[in-house]
A and B are shown apart, each in its own frame.
Chain A
Amino acid sequence: MSEKKHPDNKERVGVYVCHCGTNISKVVDVEEVARWAGEQPNVEVSRDYKFMCSSLGQELIEQDIKEKGLTRVVCASCSPHMHEKTFRTACERGGLNPFLFEMTNIREHDSWITDDKEAATIKAKSLVRGSIDRVVHHEPLDQIPVEINPNTLVVGGGIAGITSALELADAGYHVYLVEREPSIGGHMAQLDKTFPTLDCSACILTPKMVDVGQHDNITLLTWSEVEQVDGFLGNFTITVRKKARYVNEEHCTGCGICIEKCPFNVVDDIFEAGMGTRKVIYRPFPQAVPKYPVIDKENCVYFQKGKCKACEIFCPTEPNSIDFEQEDEILQIEVGNIILATGYDLFDVKRIPQYGYGKLENVFTSLEFERMVNAAGPTDGKIVLRDQETKPKSVAIVHCVGSRDENYHKYCSKVCCMYSLKFAHLVHERIPDAEIYDCYIDMRTPGKGYEEFYNRLLEEGTHFIRGKVAEITDAARIPEEEGKLIVQVEDTLIGRQRRVPVDMVILSPAMEAREGSKEVSQLFKMGCDFDGFFIERHPKLDPVATMTDGILIAGACQGPKDVPESVSQGAAAAARVAGLISRGTVMMEPVRASIDQDACSGCRICNNMCPYNAIIFHEEENVSEVITALCQGCGTCVAACPSSVITGAHFTNDQLLSQIEGILWDMRPEKVTA
């Protein structure tokens, strides 16, 4: 394959070195690199230019291809992740196969990491020479068309997932919405008011939930979890476990008599955040979608002791909707794209023992407080201490519990300042004479109407204390502190330690990645960062795509965010999917492996290298074959083949070995000894 090119038959390479304004040229001697490149083998023309990615820069390439008959192009500029596509398109416009192009990264990997001009220039030359030597071995390739299955899977039925599902369904595409709880709604359904408008959360969410439940284009799978993901962009096969509800959805009318008659109550740790109880057969909340209840098997007396069946006895439907024999169902779904909107968990405040949660009974978490102030919540909206009756006369709200903290999460959880302000407002509203102390590190209110809301609270008379709370204790030092919770905080604005005695403390914990988000990211074969949040393709310009084609992310699974942001991301992800579906087919990188079957010895070493089972073995011919549609192009089999008969397109042995040689142009032993 690597026959030596005849001198007359050599490739004509064009080399373009970008200044990137001064981003590259202030460290790398760009003119010198371009001049030197012109002297390298196979190079026909070499230029430097201020901005290669500009339309004028691209035209340079196009012109040279046409006028100078270039057969290969190298562009030394930024990372290929930035502009490879731009330049490939320019080559294509000039009439050259886009894969006859190679990009050299002399910005991110060179000019930005050092100020040693000499070293940076030598490095740039080496990288360029590597690309020149590599590109000569490039071969024209065609992108692989992939058909997009128009169905979409949305994982997570919080506000982000609901938005994605509705946007796609309204556009006429079918959506499978999978939610692991018995109802959709997510965290937003637990909230009382939303900041800064103080809209009733349930009032604005419920209509959307009902839409989802009734939409012809949405298959709603609650109490279900994704177990397996196979395939790739356009053609995923998803295995979903639909957990047994023990209620037949076909017969159940959602009348709720079974719930009423169920004789057993248990603490509701999920929806009511441990503040209230629910029946053993239950709907998480009255507006739940779908309306069908679910039996909590662990706590059901019938399941545990074989007696009761009250729900079955009182069920008025014919045939009876209660089905104790129901089993988990395993469903297979075919989809073209996946949107992950799996949301967040709240930081476990018990990890900060000095805040006393769990030990000091009148320390509450934000979610507990949300349930408390919710008119439909366990206290009917009354703000009371843990004894369920005493109104607090003083309340402290503690920001940044687990956020902006070296010991827990370094990041800012973004929403806590605003909902803490909302809490302060709600306490003012319901207990007008209460003193409210809001302990913050910095007040962060970037958002439409957010700063105005903060100003409103300043006027409402909240006492703002700028400082990180050190501890919350019941250990009184002076008689006035007896029987109170004392918030010890350094007030950095007056430069003093303060001890604030209060009746109630509300902790505003960090938003953190869902427990098990790492496993979820592995299930879907995409990335998650150190904190467990899913990684977007580009933090600025591609926030809802991931590195894996066909898998998008929306909402707090990508990082802490509030309702409007989650909604925007949900809609953005849906728009991206809708675009792909309406195109019908997308073109995929032709980076795929193939086996020269004439030369294959049938050793089968490659067979179990492939993580996608894309290599099959033909017993009769005693040869292996790569199924192109399944191959993802990693090249592991290529490196493993002992007879070098597997070719990894665009990453061939010749290409990589030449690049190694080129990159070490100044290091060849013969030159050193010379």
Chain B
Amino acid sequence: MKKYAYFPGCSLEKMAISYHDSALETTRALGVELEELEDWNCCGATTYFHLDEILANTLVARNLAMAEKQGLDLVAPCSACYKNAYFTNAYIQEDEDLAEHINYALEADDLQLSGDLSVHHLIEIFVNDVGVEEVKNKVTRPLEGIKIVPYYGCQIVRPRKDGENIEDPQFFEELLTAMGAEAVDFANKTRCCGGSLLISNRRAALDMIRILLQNAENSGADVIATACPLCQVNLECYQAQVNDEFGTNYAMPVMYFTQILGLALGIPRKKLRIGSELVSAIPVLSKYLKKEVS
């Protein structure tokens, strides 16, 4: 059984708890062990890096160093956490001065970071470690007939890895197809959801969300699948505001890919917290849930 140090990040504690629960359920079902990092701290989110890069890197490095101490690779379900951890880990290996600086700071906590560990996004665990074929074999409730938007968001593909097609990645589609669902062709799959722009420029951010929702609707999708808590919040919680602002009437459920995967694996919906969305996914999923007593 492959084991990882699991870094949930702040969102998964409360707002994205359905992501947290479904992540643990699905990994368990597929034979992957996630051991939560003890005493983890903030990942620096999107803003800290613009204020003080070295301090922000140090903040991230503490989490990495703790994973290294446990001898485990790090996995983060949130795209921002993943991106920050990935880059800090890469910088440490490239930049000796930075590594020295950070390790000096980490000494205060009796920690050391060599950068030997690898950092993964949760979705990569399913795609690369478990493998799409294995997922397919474990599906007990094939999601035939449902059209899903594979919405990567901007940050998963940003650490550009060799040979990866960052403009038109395909792994999310492969994963959805393995569940029996239909992945729609979504031109905006790696476009920004607006991120934290809602705080500073509400109208521009709402328009970005509108564009994504519009394209999802045009593609005939039933539901948007996401791999990031912030994307989920922006696309789902702000649908009402988008509708107010632009006179539209979107009602598109936005789910974590782990919830959908859990469903396909036959995990009871309550364990996956399906139904706790603001735009309920129950209507579009009802045919798969028939056998379950709701």
A–B contact with Cβ pairs below 8 Å: the answer is yes
Q: Give A contacts to B, CB under 8 Å.
A: 352-354, 359, 471, 473-477
Instruction: Determine if B168 and A354 form an interchain contact, defined as CB atoms under 8 angstroms apart.
Output: yes
**Chain B: minimal CB distance from A490 (Å):** 16
Minimal Cβ-Cβ distance residue in B for A482: B218
6 A/B residue pairs, CB under 8 Å, sorted by A:
A353-B165, A353-B168, A473-B187, A473-B188, A475-B218, A477-B215
Are B187 and A474 interface neighbours, CB within 8 A?
Answer: yes
Question: What chain B residues lie within 8 Å of A471 (beta carbons)?
Answer: 167
Q: Is B198 an interface residue (CB 8 A)?
A: no
Contacts of A352 in B (CB 8 A): 167
Closest Cβ of chain A to B150, distance in Å, is 14
Contacts of B113-168 to chain A: CB distance below 8 A: 165, 167-168
Out of B168, B186, B214, name the residue touching A476 (CB < 8 Å).
B214
Determine if A476 and B218 form an interchain contact, defined as CB atoms under 8 angstroms apart.
Answer: yes
Smallest beta-carbon distance A507→chain B, Å? 15
In the complex, chain A residues whose CB is within 8 Å of the CB of B168 = 353-354
Residues of B at the A interface (CB closer than 8 Å) are: 165, 167-168, 185-188, 210-211, 214-215, 218
B54 CB to closest chain A CB, in angstroms? 27
Chain B residue with the shortest CB-CB distance to A472 = B187
Closest to A476 in B: B218
The residue from B165, B167, B214 contacting A477, defined by CB atoms under 8 A apart: B214
Residues B215 and A354 in contact, CB atoms below 8 Å apart: no
Majority secondary structure of chain A interface residues (helix, strand, loop or mixed): loop
Known: A352-B167, A354-B167, A475-B187. 18 other contacts (CB 8 A): A353-B165, A353-B167, A354-B168, A359-B185, A471-B167, A473-B187, A473-B188, A474-B187, A475-B188, A475-B211, A475-B215, A476-B214, A476-B215, A476-B218, A477-B210, A477-B211, A477-B214, A477-B215
Residue of A whose beta carbon sits closest to that of B169:
A353
Bound Cα distance from A475 to B218, whole angstroms: 8
What are the residues of chain B within 8 A of A354 when measuring CB–CB? 167-168
B167 CB contacts on chain A under 8 angstroms: 352-354, 471
Which A residues lie within 8 Å of B211 (CB)? 475, 477
- Which 3 A-B residue pairings sit nearest by Cβ, starting from the closest? A353-B168, A475-B187, A475-B215
Residue of B with least CB distance to A352: B167
List the A side residues contacting B215 at CB < 8 Å. 475-477
Which of A352, A476, A477 has the most chain B CB within a 10 Å cutoff?
Answer: A477
CA distance A353 to B168 in the complex (A): 6
| Shortest distance between the CB of B60 and any CB in chain A (Å) | 28
For A475, the chain B residues whose CB sits under 8 A away are: 186-188, 211, 215, 218
B95: min CB distance to chain A, Å: 21
Please, which residues of chain A bring their CB within 8 A of the CB of B214? Answer: 476-477
Contacts of B187 in A (CB 8 A): 473-475
Closest to B168 in A: A353
CA–CA, A473 to B211, complex, Å? 13
Considering the chains assembled together, what is the distance between the CA atoms of A474 and B168 in angstroms? 14
A663–B142 CA distance with the chains assembled, in angstroms: 78
CB distance from B194 to the nearest CB of A (A): 14
A406 to B290, CA, bound (A): 53
Interface centre among A471, A473, A475, A476 (most CB of B within 10 A): A475
Which residue of the partner chain B has the closest CB to A478? B214
Chain B contacts of A476 at CB under 8 A?
214-215, 218
A353 to B167, CA, bound (A): 6
Docked CA distance A352–B211 (Å): 23
A477 to B215, CA, bound (A): 7
Interchain CA distance A475-B211 in the complex, whole Å: 9
In the assembled complex, which residues on chain A have CB atoms less than 8 Å from the CB atom of B185? 359
Q: Complex Cα distance A353/B214, Å?
A: 22
> Closest B-chain residue to A354, C-beta based?
B167
Bound Cα distance from A474 to B215, whole angstroms: 9
Which one of B185, B186, B187, B210 has the greatest number of beta carbons of chain A within 10 Å? B187
User: In the complex the two chains form, what is the Cα distance from A471 to B185 in whole Å?
Assistant: 16
User: A477–B167 Cα gap in the complex (Å)?
Assistant: 19
Cα distance, A476 to B215, chains bound together (Å): 7
> Can you name the residue of chain A whose Cβ is closest to the Cβ of B160?
A407
Given the complex, which residues of A lie within 8 Å of B188, measured CB to CB?
Answer: 473, 475
CA distance in complex: A473, B212 (Å): 13
Query: How many whole Å from A498's CB to the nearest CB in chain B?
Result: 15
Residues of the B chain whose Cβ atoms lie less than 8 Å from the Cβ of A477: 210-211, 214-215
A405 CB, min distance to chain B CBs, angstroms: 13
Q: Smallest CB-CB separation from B216: which chain A residue?
A: A475
Distance of A477 Cα from B210 Cα, bound (Å): 8
Name B185's closest neighbour in chain A (CB-CB): A359
C-alpha gap A477/B213 in the complex (Å): 10
CB distance from B215 to the nearest CB of A (A): 4
Tell me how far the C-beta of A111 lies from the nearest C-beta in chain B, rounded to whole angstroms. Answer: 34
Shortest CB-to-CB span from B293 to chain A, Å, is 40
A476 to B188, CA, bound (A): 10
Least Cβ distance of B289 to chain A in Å?
31
**B208: nearest residue on chain A (CB-CB)?**
A477
Closest to B211 in A: A477
Closest to A359 in B: B185
Q: What separation, in Å, do the CA atoms of A475 and B221 have in the docked complex? A: 14
Q: Could you say which residues of chain B place their CB within 8 Å of the CB of A353?
A: 165, 167-168
Q: Which residue of the partner chain A has the closest CB to B215?
A: A475
Minimum Cβ distance to chain B for residue A208 (Å): 43
User: What is the CA–CA distance of A471 and B214 in the complex, to the nearest angstrom?
Assistant: 18
Cα A359 to Cα B211 with chains together (Å): 20
* A359-B189 Cα distance, complex, nearest whole Å: 15
- Chain A residues lying within 8 Å of B165, measured Cβ to Cβ, are 353
Q: How far is the CA of A354 from the CA of B168 in the complex (A)?
A: 7
Q: Name the CB-closest residue of A to B170.
A: A353
Q: How far is the CA of A232 from the CA of B186 in the complex (A)?
A: 58
CB closest chain-A residue, reference B186: A475
A471 to B188, CA, bound (A): 11
Closest chain A residue, CB of each to CB of B214: A477
CB-CB under 8 A from B210, the residues of chain A are: 477
Inter-chain CA distance A505–B186, complex, in Å, is 20
Chain A residue with Cβ nearest B191: A475
